[in-house]
Structure 1
Amino acid sequence: MKIEEIKHPELKNHINMIYMHGENENQKAIEKTESEIKEYIKDKEFIISIEDGETVKIPYGNDGNYLVPIFTDALEYKNGMQYFSLNVMDENKEYVIDKLEKYNKKLKEDPNFLGYIINIARVSYIINITLI
């Protein structure tokens, strides 16, 4: 699969709905949408940033916690690489197109792994470990 073929408008809709439900303080709808996200990401391929064969880790806080960036389309990836460049984190970065489950088991065993961050340049949404 080519990077140009990766598109996830349904996931972006789910993310937008979570923000709307949050504005309305509708926790039940948030939980329903989160379960839809969990189901959606199971069999989809994403653009995953890697370095030396390992997923890139973005520090989160000062206690060793981190997020792994993933991208839902080529434009997000391009913007994410610009973000990495501005923060001097773009050296040796590559990408793969793959399902998250390939990485989930190893990452979930790490207590410092907090989840996947979608669209690192805009901090669009964090898929926490309860959804993977």
Structure 2
Amino acid sequence: MNMEDIKHPELKNHINMIYMHGENKNQDAIEKTEEIIKEYIQDKYFIISVEDNEPVKIPYGNDNEYLVPIFTDALEYTNGMQYYSLNVMDENKDYIIEKLDYFKKLKEDPNFLGYIVNIARVSYIINITLI
């Protein structure tokens, strides 16, 4: 599988729906959409940033908490790497194409907050309850 094969327009639509439900303060619809996302990501492959075969960790909040960036298509990855270069974070970065459970040990790390989809636009955080 190569990067051009990775495309997740359905996930992007679900993320957009969560934002719309949030604007309407419809918590029930948000929870239903999150369940759909949880099902969707279970068997899908994503582009995951790595460095030395370990996931790239983006500091978030306090106390060493972090997110791991993932990308839903090649354009997101290209834009994300441009974002990295603006923030001097692109040195020695690479990617793999894997399922989100590839780094199983991340779930056991209390500092791991989840995966951030499209770091260049900070579109959505897939928190650990959805993984």
Smaller-chain TM-score bracket: over 0.9
Aligned amino acid, residue 81 of structure 2:
M
Paired with 2:62 and 2:87, the residues of 1 have a C-alpha distance of 17
Deviations 1:18-77 (A, max 9, x none): 000001100000000000000000000000000000000000023200000000000000
Paired with 2:125 and 2:16, the residues of 1 have a C-alpha distance of 13
- Partner of residue 122, structure 1: 121
- Partner of residue 29, structure 2: 29
Task: Quote the sequence identity (%).
Answer: 82
Paired with 2:21 and 2:58, the residues of 1 have a C-alpha distance of 27
| Counterpart check, 1:106 vs 2:94 | no
TM-score by length of 1: 0.98
- Partner of residue 82, structure 2: 82
Paired with 2:107 and 2:99, the residues of 1 have a C-alpha distance of 15
| Counterpart check, 1:92 vs 2:92 | yes
Matches within 5 A, 1:18-57: 18-57=18-57
Paired with 1:15 and 1:44, the residues of 2 have a C-alpha distance of 16
- Partner of residue 12, structure 2: 12
Q: Which runs of 4+ in 1 moved over 2 A?
A: none
In structure 1, list runs of 5 or more residues that go unmatched. none
| Counterpart check, 1:66 vs 2:66 | yes
Paired with 1:25 and 1:86, the residues of 2 have a C-alpha distance of 35
In structure 2, list runs of 5 or more residues that go unmatched. none
Shift of 1:79: 0.4
Paired with 1:106 and 1:33, the residues of 2 have a C-alpha distance of 26
Which secondary structure does the structure 1 equivalent of 2:37 belong to? helix
Larger displacement relative to structure 2 (60-69 or 7-16): 60-69
Paired with 2:61 and 2:27, the residues of 1 have a C-alpha distance of 26
